[in-house]
Structure 1
Amino acid sequence: MRGSTVMRWVTAIGEAFLAVPFIGGIFVMSTGYSALGVMFILHAITLVLAIRDHSAKSGSILGLATSAFAWIPFVGWFLHLVTAVVLVFQAVLSRPRYY
């Protein structure tokens, strides 16, 4: 499995956790919003790996935007949810197919 695919799964799980109503928000606020900074760094790493692997980049770019705007309460929840779904789809579609 390519590094970009592994990182897509990692960031998708992180985004899905942050998209859980109230729990994700409480976690982000309890870390002093540094969880968003960590997710930003993870999305940047995923983007670099996707560029290297010549694979889809939109999920990582969306994740970077989500990390930047997720401090807005309900907008953040929606962005985390959409980003998690996009990253899961890209991770599933980027797996090698065995026929």
Structure 2
Amino acid sequence: MKFSTILKWLTGGCEAFLAIPLAGGLFIFSSGWSALLFMFVFHLITLVVSVKDKRTYVGSVLGMITSAIGAIPVVGWIMHTITAIILLIDAGRSTRVEKKA
């Protein structure tokens, strides 16, 4: 499995955790919003690796946008949910393509 696919699974899982209405919000708030900064950097690394592996990177770009506006309560929750879905679908597709090859 390519490293970019592994990173997409990880970032998608982290986004899914942050999308849990109460738990994700409390985690972001208790970390002093540093979780959003961490996720921004994590998405940036995933973006660079995906471009290097010639894989899709839409989820990583969306994740960086989500991290930038994730402090807005309802908007952040919606964005984390959408980003998690996109990243996990992309990771699943990449895994399927790699298994066929």
TM (norm. structure 1) is 0.97
Unaligned runs of 5+ in 2: none
Report deviation, 1:22. 1.1
- What's the Cα RMSD here? 1.0
Q: Aligned residue for 2:92?
A: 92
TM (norm. structure 2) is 0.95
The CA distance in 2 between the partners of 1:98 and 1:33, in whole Å, is 40
Larger helix fraction of residues: 2
Percent identical pairs in the alignment equals 45
The CA distance in 2 between the partners of 1:94 and 1:85, in whole Å, is 14
Matched letter for residue 47 of structure 1: L
Matched letter for residue 17 of structure 1: F
Secondary structure, aligned partner of 1:32: coil
Q: Aligned residue for 1:50?
A: 50
Unaligned runs of 5+ in 1: none
Q: Deviations over 1:53-72 (max 9, x none)?
A: 00001000000000000000
Structure 1's consecutive aligned runs of 4 or more residues displaced over 6 angstroms after TM superposition are none
